[in-house]
A and B are shown apart, each in its own frame.
Chain A
Amino acid sequence: MLFKYEVEGGNFSKAGFASSEIKKILKQINIDAKIIKRIVVALYEGEVNVVAHATRGTVLADIDDKQIYIRIEDEGPGINDINLAMKEGYSTASEKVREMGFGAGMGLPNIKRNTDWLNLTSNVGEGTVLEMKTFF
């Protein structure tokens, strides 16, 4: 099953929409609550990343009875040093974003912790593609 959601850069009030929708789907196909939580936390962090850094993005989810594959693609500044971005506490978020309680540098590490497979690619000045898988 394919699901697609748009994410608007800069609109923090809408961050969490895709994760809420995906959560509803996963509850309906009777996925264990703890696994749902991991997926939702990872996806929410991913959405916040797009909102905080990019101009726009899309969330694509593919769900079957064994796993969920999520691809978050954005148009934005991209990531200079992926290894650094994966480090806890490292953040390039603006002062404005931090004032809103985001940008503590925990996003990507938190996503990594909550997924079974993760792939991050980025082109500076163009955008970022984050792929993740969680097995049921």
Chain B
Amino acid sequence: MSAENQYHALSVNESLCYGCTHCMNVCPTDAIRISAGKAYIRRDWCVDCGECMKACTVDAFYVEQDDFDKIFDYKYRVALVPAVMIGQFPSNVSESEIFSVMREIGFTHVFQTEHTVDVINERIIEEQMKENVKPLISSYCPAVVRLIQVRFPSLVDHIVLVKPPIDASALFFRRKLQDMGIPDNEIGLFYVTPCPAKIAAVKSPVGEEKSSVNGVINMDFLYNKVLLGIQGRAGKGTRAAGDTLPNLSAKSILWSLTNGETPYVRGRCLAIDEIHNVIDFLEKIENDEITDVDFLELRACDESCAGGVLVVGNRFLTVERLHKRAQLFKDIHGMPEDLEPYTDYLKKKLSIHPVEPRSMLALDEDTGKAVQKMLQVRKMMCYLPGIDCGACGAPNCQSLAKDIVQKEAQLSNCVFIQRMMEKNKKLHGDHAIRIIEKVWGKDRLDKDCTKLGAKNEGM
């Protein structure tokens, strides 16, 4: 899929964004710029990791989700719920209570995303047995897959070409319902997502043509709906939890957390979470500094999916609850009964196409031109102060220098260069203010006592 067609789940609400530098400074791919007082995401640079959304002080980032009523377009409305959703609720709320409320609000079936983990695990091991590059990198986290595409294009061959649980389970449950005589077009599969990257992966999958998920619902939205339902019914449910599903094993319950995959794959395995840690490690892999690792489980969020930006609860409490749950089911081993007959079907369907690199680092496709641009960038850096303040609307001086060379910004965007130009009578003070307003919005430097932290904040 070309970069232009890449779906992105993260957007900026321009009426809420007041133009600060928090999101721009944390973006691991330098994908954010400020212009006219608002944050803009460079679509083809963004990997949907959600760091900007976590950093925003005014909740200006939002994740586009499918309209909840879209579920009623289907006769059979299936919710695919990941384990971290269950981990949001205190331990006195049972899984069956959660599922029963979900049926009350409109779903006909509630299934767990990690249901197919054992088949995925077997396929990963099959991939490990092949003559492959080392280390193999798990395809579990879609933000990591995209990060590798844009920042580590030389490592795309390391990604294990096996579908993650969301796609595998969607395939399985769809097939299972079909085998019960339900026509395909009457089945609507909706994934309850802990993060924007998973939405993007459903809307524009990497390495597959089309996802078998019909829509995505944000976990924070559904959590509120379910919690209200639980409080409202006070123990008196109107619906049962639905078909009693086999309880998942401890392995499945913990699969989405850090070190969820590593105990079950071959050889020397490492689990690394949080996107900056992942980047540091990928740098080392790319430099061949680390060569004796067989498998890497890389997750963009701290504490993996429990730390997803759409997960409401505290990530450490979520992890603790899921570990307690896993302890409870520690005697359950192996594949869920209903999955066994589908193992061969699923295994065949779990492969994805090789992941294509789409590097956003090159200054020009033509090396000759890129060298010329590099020379210009280095020349610009002679003048820029290296303070990396972000006041120009780019995350650091280096980024501004590149933007200038790519004709997307000007040297006078730098506030320090402006002072030097004023001193040398090359820029009028009024003009300098106009430049600042172009980046930070009109009247942005006027006194405003209602802004964050000011004496009349929020009034």
Contact = CB atoms under 8 A, between A and B. Distances in A.
Nearest to B365: A30
Query: How many interface residues does chain A have, given as a range?
Result: 20 to 34
A37 interface: yes
A33 B287 contact: no
Interface string A2-22: 000000000000001001100
Interface in B283-308: 283-284, 286-289
A69 interface: no
Contact of B362 (A1, A16, A28, A64): A28
A54 interface: no
A46 to B, nearest CB: 13
Interface in A22-36: 23-25, 27-31, 33-34, 36
Nearest to B361: A27
A30 B359 CA distance: 9
A30 B289 contact: no
Contacts of B365: 30
B245 interface: no
A65 B375 CA distance: 12
Given A28-B370, A31-B367, A44 B153 contact: no
Contacts of B375: 1
Contacts of A63: 371
Interface of A: 1, 16, 19-20, 23-25, 27-31, 33-34, 36-37, 40-41, 44, 63-65, 136
A40 B288 contact: yes
A61 B348 CA distance: 49
B287 A44 contact: yes
Contacts of A33: 153-154, 357
A133 B283 CA distance: 23
A29 B378 CA distance: 13
Interface in B325-371: 357, 359, 361-368, 370-371
Interface residues of B, number: 23
B288 A65 contact: no
Nearest to A24: B361
A-B residue pairs, 4 tightest by C-beta: A33-B154, A30-B362, A29-B370, A65-B368
A34 B156 CA distance: 12
Interface in B353-400: 357, 359, 361-368, 370-371, 374-375, 378
Contacts of A27: 153, 359, 361-362
The main secondary structure of chain A at its interface with chain B is: helix
Given A27-B362, A28-B362, A29-B363, A16 B289 contact: yes
Contact of B374 (A16, A23, A25, A37): A25
A12 B378 CA distance: 29
Given A28-B363, A29-B363, A37-B286, 8 more contacts: A1-B371, A23-B286, A30-B362, A30-B364, A40-B288, A44-B288, A63-B371, A65-B370
Contacts of B284: 16
Nearest to A48: B289
21 contacts: A1-B378, A23-B287, A27-B359, A27-B361, A28-B361, A28-B362, A29-B363, A29-B367, A29-B371, A30-B362, A30-B365, A30-B366, A30-B367, A33-B153, A33-B357, A37-B286, A41-B288, A44-B288, A44-B289, A65-B368, A65-B370
A125 B283 CA distance: 35
A64 B308 CA distance: 43
B154 A34 contact: yes
A29 B374 contact: yes
Nearest to A3: B378
A37 B287 CA distance: 7
Given A30-B362, A34-B154, A65 B371 contact: yes
Given A40-B288, A41-B288, A65-B367, A28 B154 contact: no
A64 to B, nearest CB: 6
A133 B153 CA distance: 23
A30 B370 contact: yes
A1 to B, nearest CB: 6
Nearest to A19: B287
Nearest to B377: A28
Chain B CB count within 10 A is highest, among A29, A33, A44, A65, for: A29
